[in-house]
């Protein structure tokens, strides 16, 4: 879906196309909370994750989604992966909206940080799960997160990144603790 949307939106350069997928259309902003969603356009809660602004944005998100998603799906199942994608795809975008208001915000980064947080903490709490993130990849993700917050890399949905990470960490912690408490 991300590649299809990237092609149809010209990597986010077609504002008319992007306007139909973002959480709230900035051109129709009326000061109310998520007016389009409240009017029944529920797809807007998930479709922003499919929008990417530029080839590097798409490439890096797809690389991490493939690596992390395949690992989680293989070891925890498609239901866990789907739930993680839906939750870390919607809540971080809503958090970004609450901080920044309506805008052209999109990408799979909140999901990627959610999956990374889940994998890292689940692996630390329950190494037998087969889910984990190498220390090098974890450090690289955290360095990238900090670099994004500096502003040196341009406008970035930092709230979505951080919210996705926090959700993933909490999910990994709860899941790992629950697994450790089950009788063998």
Give yes or no for a contact between 25 and 36, defined as CB atoms under 8 angstroms apart. yes
Give yes or no for a contact between 171 and 129, defined as CB atoms under 8 angstroms apart. no
Contacts 24+ apart (CB under 8 A), 45-48: 45/90, 45/93, 45/94, 46/86, 46/89, 46/90, 47/5, 47/21, 47/22, 48/21, 48/22, 48/23, 48/89, 48/93, 48/105, 48/106, 48/107
Radius of gyration of the chain, Cα coordinates, nearest whole angstrom: 17
Measured CA to CA, the distance from residue 172 to residue 60 in angstroms comes to 23
- For 165-179, b/e burial (b = at least 16 CB within 10 A) is bbbbbebbbebbeee
Out of 9, 109, 129, 175, pick the active-site residue.
109
Asked if 109 is an active-site residue, the reply is yes
Asked if 57 is an active-site residue, the reply is no
Out of 9, 52, 129, 161, pick the active-site residue.
161
Measured CA to CA, the distance from residue 80 to residue 75 in angstroms comes to 10
Catalytic sites, residue numbers: 109, 161
């Amino acid at each position: 879906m991300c590649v299809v949307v990237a092609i149809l939106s010209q990597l986010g350069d077609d504002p008319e196309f992007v306007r139909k997928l973002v959480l709230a259309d900035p051109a129709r902003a009326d000061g109310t909370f998520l007016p389009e969603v409240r009017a029944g356009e529920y797809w807007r809660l998930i479709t922003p994750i499919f929008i990417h602004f530029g080839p590097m944005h798409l490439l890096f998100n797809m690389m991490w989604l493939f690596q992390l998603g395949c690992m989680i799906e293989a070891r925890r199942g498609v239901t866990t992966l789907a739930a993680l994608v839906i939750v870390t795809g919607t809540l971080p975008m809503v958090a970004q909206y609450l901080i920044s208001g309506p805008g052209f915000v999109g990408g799979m980064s909140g999901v990627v940080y959610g999956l990374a947080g889940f994998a890292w903490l689940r692996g630390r709490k329950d190494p037998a799960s087969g889910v984990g993130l190498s220390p090098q990849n974890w450090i690289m993700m955290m360095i990238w997160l900090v670099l994004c917050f500096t502003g040196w890399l341009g406008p970035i949905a930092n709230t979505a990144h951080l919210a996705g990470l926090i959700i993933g960490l909490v999910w990994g912690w709860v899941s790992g603790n629950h697994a450790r408490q089950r009788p063998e």
